[in-house]
Structure 1
Amino acid sequence: MPERQLNPQNTMTMDVETHEIEPVRKSIRVRADAARAFRIFTEEMDSWWPRTHHIGNSPMKRVVVEGRPMGAIYTEQEDGTNCPWGSVLTWEPPHLFVMAWQIRPDWQYEPDLSKCSEVEVRFTPADDGTTLVELEHRGLTRHGVGCAKMREQVNSEGGWGALLGIFAGKVGGAA
């Protein structure tokens, strides 16, 4: 049932949807063992993350993932600044990586973790030496107003599916 909130413009009440938005789920099988896939996805993210995908105020130089729980995820910018955009929530090499997506729907940094969605990436080895990489971007309603647009963008042609394809190319190709 929708939550009732006061509308400040005319003091009437309006309905606010409180249902969860469906998570974005993407997967790809890569030609690498789980340890290599995990390492390249996390510790070597800079080797495959597109330079166009950042929220800094100047061109991006590189992506840094501090590999530990509550480690920072940020970009170093050409103007010498660091631009945070995530935090490591779970670090379990070589099988599980979870990060807080600290980017608001207006593509600015969100420091409050309670207002951030999560990106979980699982690395499941197969008997043939490949690894199934499964990504789930969930909790998008925590972003508040604009959360549906955020979901649409991370699920778009240039979103998580494309990023997994670029990652697979760096690892050694999709299987």
Structure 2
Amino acid sequence: MTAPEEDARVLPLTRPPIRRSVLVRAGRARTWAVFVGRMAEWWPLDPFSAGKARVRDVTVQARVGGTVAEVWDDGTVIPWGEVLTCAEPEHFAMTWNITGTPTEVALRFRAVAPALTKVDLEHTGWDRLDTDELRRDCALPGGYEGGAVATGWDHILAALQRAAAQEDE
């Protein structure tokens, strides 16, 4: 017979990933191109950037090891993360350095119909953040623990949805 201490198992504290999905009324290639190539045009920079009104561009070096960064009107570059996966037009993943300790954001682009794409987002890595980082306000009040990060991704994906669905001008 084993002692109670020997039977006790400690499970690591896990913080679930944030998962969001959106249907975009555009083909997969177009949705990918808008996400990767035109981020500065649709990303809601206020409040979802460090520079807000100062941001003049958001650059995505669409290759593994490339950077995603905001560029301010004075030339200041604020890196958002490093590209981990760039498999056009299916899968894009990057580190997300805005949280302090890097986390990961992955998007999958799935064709549902010729002009309909499902975009699945998964933001992981929350186990690496300390309590202060989890509670710290992000662009919205409440941080991870208060649900602000999930709400933020809802806003960002809705902006992508609108931008990709617009006809080219």
Deviation track 1:98-122 (CA, whole Å, cap 9, x = no partner) reads 0100123xxxxx5xxxx41110100
The answer to whether the aligner puts 1:130 opposite 2:134 as a matched pair is no
**CA 127–22 in structure 1, closer or farther in 2 if over 3 Å, else same:** same
Deviation track 1:130-165 (CA, whole Å, cap 9, x = no partner) reads 110010111112222334334232112xx0011111
Deviation track 1:64-107 (CA, whole Å, cap 9, x = no partner) reads 11110010111101222111111110000000000100123xxx
For 1:97, the aligned partner's letter is F
Q: Does structure 1 retain, via aligned residues, the 8 Å contact 2:58–2:70?
A: yes
Q: Does structure 1 retain, via aligned residues, the 8 Å contact 2:21–2:120?
A: yes
Match of 2:161 in 1: 168
TM-score by length of 1: 0.77
For 1:96, the aligned partner's letter is H
Q: Percent identity over the alignment?
A: 32
**CA 162–31 in structure 1, closer or farther in 2 if over 3 Å, else same:** same
Deviation track 1:6-50 (CA, whole Å, cap 9, x = no partner) reads xxxxxxxxxxxx412111111111111111111111111111112
Structure 1 unaligned regions, length at least 5: 3-17, 105-109
Pick one of 15, 20, 31 that aligns with 2:14.
20
Match of 2:81 in 1: 86
**CA 128–35 in structure 1, closer or farther in 2 if over 3 Å, else same:** closer
The runs of at least 4 consecutive aligned structure 1 residues that moved more than 4 Å come to none
Q: 1:58 offset after TM fit, Å? A: 7.5
For 1:155, the aligned partner's letter is A
TM-score by length of 2: 0.79
**For 2:109 and 2:17, how far apart are their aligned partners in 1?**
18
Q: 1:127 offset after TM fit, Å? A: 3.1
Match of 1:13 in 2: none
Q: 1:56 offset after TM fit, Å? A: 4.0
**In the TM superposition, what are the counterparts of 1:34-113 in structure 2 within 5 Å?**
34-52=28-46, 53-56=48-51, 59-104=54-99, 110=100
Give the total of aligned pairs: 147
Q: Does structure 1 retain, via aligned residues, the 8 Å contact 2:80–2:96?
A: yes
